Amino acid sequence: MRDWAAPLVAAALFAFLSPGVLVQLPGKDRPVGGFMNMQTSVASILVHAVLYFLLLVLFLVVLHIHIYA
C-alpha cells in the first residue's frame, strides 16, 4: 500500500490557495477576487505561499494525515 496523503493534500492546498481562487489576500480594492484575474500583487503571492507552507506542515507533520490506497 502507498500513502497518498502528501500529494493529495499538497495538490488540493495548491489549487485552493492560489491567489484569486477563493480570496485575494491581502486585497487592496477587492478582498474576494475572481479566478484568473491576472492582477496578483507580490504581497498576495507571499501571503498565499506562507499560508500554503503552514497548512501543509499542519496536515502532514502535526496531524499525520495518511490516505492509503
Predicted pLDDT of residue 37: 60
∠ CA 2-8-36, nearest 5°, is 160
Cα separations in angstroms, 48 against 10, 12, 54, 58:
13, 14, 10, 15
Predicted pLDDT of residue 69: 81
Predicted pLDDT of residue 31: 54
Predicted pLDDT of residue 26: 67
Give CA–CA dist 21/41, Å, rounded: 14
Q: Which DSSP helix (H) or strand (E) runs through 15?
A: helix 5-16
C-alpha grid cell, residue 42: 507580490
In tens digits, what is the pLDDT along the chain, a chain of 69 residues?
899 999 999 999 998 888 777 766 666 665 555 555 666 777 878 888 999 999 999 999 999 988 888
Give CA–CA dist 8/41, Å, rounded: 27
